[in-house]
Structure 1
């Protein structure tokens, strides 16, 4: 009697290769090719170099970038569930369908994403697919991006503008209003120093949150701020801030007053060089710890609201303000880029150089 081979078990979830399995299999195949070409010892050293490269990539990837990848992968998995498509396929059709779905109904509440958000999710989802061993061609990704740009134009033509748009930029009048509205307290002095210094080095919300007291040093001509939280080689910098002609909005004087008062009224540990440069302060004037990016953003919005600024500032308003105000006063674009930590001729910096009403700096003005 001939033995009948047992039927193969159906493939279940446990049999589906995980991203880690796929990556390990790819690495093993690569090592085997190296061994054939160069010998076992060279293959081992090359594999160790790959491990080092992976560790360096993980070390230099900013936390907020990792957070974006995680959020965007969740958006991708929601799309795949809604469209009944496999998560680990990044074909041209799937990516075009993804951007179409995002603009139409991708948010949790059923509304469509703004094109800028959809663009971020597309890029991060492609990274997520590649991290999981999925081959995504540049042509397929480009097709999805072309579809996204075309659909965004259709939205504009239909009169639909999504997203909050660019944050309002800080201006000199607003700085004066903020200074006048700050109370004569430790928190008030902290608020003035936070806004005035942040404006003068075009801070993002994570920049003052990441500063230690020792990162801000006095110089005969002003302050030198070591900004170490930037994402690029341009944004990690030593920003120099000079004394202002108007003492009322002078960032150097504001910083000195804040730190002097902090030393007099708070525990000495908050004045150590390794303490946070900007601290949280409760309603009773007690220091609660170092500020984080979210608390910086909330503080700037609260401070501008207290001052009666017509449109509330956000954590990015100081950064936009430095670029737009410096440009309006004729500062050189390269000097602005160096101070704010942009690449020279950065597109984002040029976008921040806002033209408030389109009349004063108009290409057609005075031609006829």
Structure 2
């Protein structure tokens, strides 16, 4: 029997009881799919999950657990869920106060919950539920928030750490200490490479090469699943030069006996690299002391607070700041995208550039 699927199937018959699909055309013999063809092994499911960023997987797991709990409480089946169950759950999320914030989830969080439910069905070899009605509920919720001027109607974004902001932040950092050198390198290299904090903390010392022109940094871009070699030139001002900041950090770490492994590491108040961390008598954390993404983001938030900056400052502020400043300096979309490892046609990048252009390229100017 020819097992090659026809290019244009003219007739499809699906028999749920037998889990068999038969595709026929007038040109080829039937192709019969059994339930085996629609099944993923445990190993395959684990491999699919491994292709998802850790932060996304944690968020989806949390969302799915909340959905399972709600279904159990209301006598509904979570897997496979019906469209009606998903719609009722979205209604529940729009009116139920979150324990963490004391208010209902925002539209973007509910969007993620829907994505989590569909993704979990896929992992379990189940057909994801149809969400058309649920999204209508979400659309109405979003409009209701906007009409009532609820702050939740506006997506929360990290403020961009543009050069003047970075200068204010760096002015508060004590670079005579090892921790201060690390923090300065984290800010400046994160900005210069337009790196996500997860990409930044993943850097090893071996990923950074100093040349006559500056640094070549091999950054693994999580979203596009590839390494990019980012050229980081010397800065005109020594205090804000990423090359000098990284050089100072690596020299200080070498003096402390660390010449390999992660570049951004835990440092305690005594200047010790990778001090042991214990919980309930057991060691926790990376044994080599690699910082977590959350720890790196906390550095940005803490320093912005010390500098007295208003707004929302997170690890993503560095990446947004690079895109905004590069656009203001006249760099084109393609160069910015390739330097920062954005996927071609990235809507996120276009959004950053539009925000940067609204003053520089304002259509009202000169009217």
TM-score bracket for this pair, using the shorter chain length? 0.7 to 0.9
For 1:45-64, what aligned pairs fall within 5 Å after superposition?
Answer: 53-54=44-45, 56-64=47-55
How far the C-alpha of 1:131 sits from its partner, in A, is 3.0
- Equivalent-residue separation in structure 2 for 1:105 and 1:345 (angstroms): 37
For 1:74-93, what aligned pairs fall within 5 Å after superposition?
Answer: 74-93=65-84
Contact 1:208–1:277 (Cα < 8 Å) also in 2: no
| Structure 2 residue aligned with 1:154 | 144
- Deviation larger for 279-288 or 349-358: 349-358
How far the C-alpha of 1:38 sits from its partner, in A, is 8.4
How far the C-alpha of 1:176 sits from its partner, in A, is 1.5
- Deviation larger for 58-67 or 203-212: 58-67
Q: After superposition, what is the alpha-carbon deviation per residue over 1:200-219, rounded to whole angstroms, capped at 9, x for unaligned?
A: 11121211211111111112
Contact 2:173–2:184 (Cα < 8 Å) also in 1: yes
Q: What number of residue pairs does the alignment pair up?
A: 328
- Equivalent-residue separation in structure 2 for 1:361 and 1:96 (angstroms): 43
| Structure 1 residue aligned with 2:263 | 277
- Deviation larger for 316-325 or 170-179: 170-179
Say which SS state the counterpart of residue 181 (structure 1) adopts.
coil
| Structure 1 residue aligned with 2:280 | none
- 5+ long unaligned stretches in structure 2: 1-15, 24-29, 275-288
Q: After superposition, what is the alpha-carbon deviation per residue over 1:121-173, rounded to whole angstroms, capped at 9, x for unaligned?
A: 11111121333344335xx2233224312321221111112277101110111
- Equivalent-residue separation in structure 1 for 2:95 and 2:31 (angstroms): 52
- Equivalent-residue separation in structure 1 for 2:300 and 2:267 (angstroms): 14
- Equivalent-residue separation in structure 2 for 1:103 and 1:48 (angstroms): 35
1:181 maps onto 2:172 in alignment: yes
Q: 4+ runs of 1 displaced by more than 6 Å?
A: 45-52
| Structure 2 residue aligned with 1:71 | 62
Larger helix share, 1 or 2: 1
Sort the Cα spacing of 1:240 and 1:356 in 2 relative to 1 into closer, same or farther, 3 A: closer
| Structure 2 residue aligned with 1:203 | 195
- Equivalent-residue separation in structure 1 for 2:55 and 2:180 (angstroms): 30
- Equivalent-residue separation in structure 1 for 2:193 and 2:44 (angstroms): 33
| Structure of higher CA gyration radius | 1
Say which SS state the counterpart of residue 271 (structure 2) adopts.
coil
| TM-score between both structures, scaled by the size of structure 2 | 0.79
| Structure 2 residue aligned with 1:336 | 336
| Structure 2 residue aligned with 1:169 | 160
For 1:116-135, what aligned pairs fall within 5 Å after superposition?
Answer: 116-135=108-127
- Equivalent-residue separation in structure 1 for 2:216 and 2:356 (angstroms): 31
| Structure 2 residue aligned with 1:299 | 299
1:239 maps onto 2:230 in alignment: yes
Contact 2:201–2:290 (Cα < 8 Å) also in 1: yes
Say which SS state the counterpart of residue 224 (structure 1) adopts.
strand
- 5+ long unaligned stretches in structure 1: 1-25
- Equivalent-residue separation in structure 2 for 1:359 and 1:348 (angstroms): 19
